[in-house]
Amino acid sequence: MIRLHFFLEGQTEETFQRDTLSLHLGNFNISADGKLIAHKKTSSRKYKGGILDWQKKYNDIGRCTKEDDNADSWFTTMFDLYALPNDFPGYGGAQGETDPYSKVKFLENALKNEIKYPRFIPYFQLYEFEALLFSDLQKIERQYPACGREIQNLVKDVADSPNPELINDNPETAPSKRIIKQIPAYDKKSAGPIIANHIGLPVLRAKCRHFNEWLTELEKLGR
């Protein structure tokens, strides 16, 4: 059995990995687990997500790959492309890429070259986890049944952008910002992964090309 370790940006990704991705990958003879890397609890005992200090995360990844350096062990990431720090590997060069898919591939290759580990598959979510929820916004109503009108506002808001992965990374209009604007009670940590699970991997893969390419590559490890 292949062991696959996920390096995760935050608790939203951690829950999605545990409750959705790991169960799916188990069908491909892959045992998956996740780790929030270089995270510390704040004074309120809550984890703060995001890639705020790349050097600490780099050190954490290096330590983890040394701890399980076996031929059947693989590592991957689930990081948001949104709000990357400017000291991230390849950040400067990626700014010259106008196509979002070219930009994310540039950064993933830069990260792979930085880590220098043969069984490492980097992945960035375009532009953040909440983009997945725009694959089927109606499923949000299962968590927020009183927000039918607000959900329809979201649907209209992105009517000219049928590709969820291309909803932009502007601080005011990133996917999560759009949801929170309409549904202030939206809980990123708990509701996001549940809604994604309601949507289901087949729809997420059909609507989100880069996500599907990554999951396909992971499935191949078990074949």
Confidence of residue 50 (pLDDT cuts 50, 70, 90): low
Of the listed ranges 53-67, 170-184, 191-205, the one predicted with least confidence: 53-67
* pLDDT tens sequence across 118-172: 999 999 999 999 999 999 999 999 999 999 999 999 999 999 888 999 998 788 8
The confidence score (pLDDT) of residue 102 equals: 97
Q: Which residues of 87-106 are buried (b: 16+ CB within 10 A; e: fewer)?
A: ebbbeeebeeeeebeebbbb
The domain over range 2-126+208-221 is classified in CATH as 1.10.8: no
Alpha carbons 53 and 87: distance in angstroms, whole number = 9
The confidence score (pLDDT) of residue 171 equals: 87
What DSSP character marks residue 41? B
The confidence score (pLDDT) of residue 44 equals: 46
Considering only residues 181 and 45, tell me which one the structure prediction assigns the higher pLDDT. 181
Alpha carbons 96 and 30: distance in angstroms, whole number = 37
The domain segmentation of the chain, as residue ranges, is 2-126+208-221, 130-201
pLDDT surpassing 70 at residue 99:
yes
The confidence score (pLDDT) of residue 162 equals: 80
Of the listed ranges 1-10, 72-81, 165-174, the one predicted with least confidence: 165-174
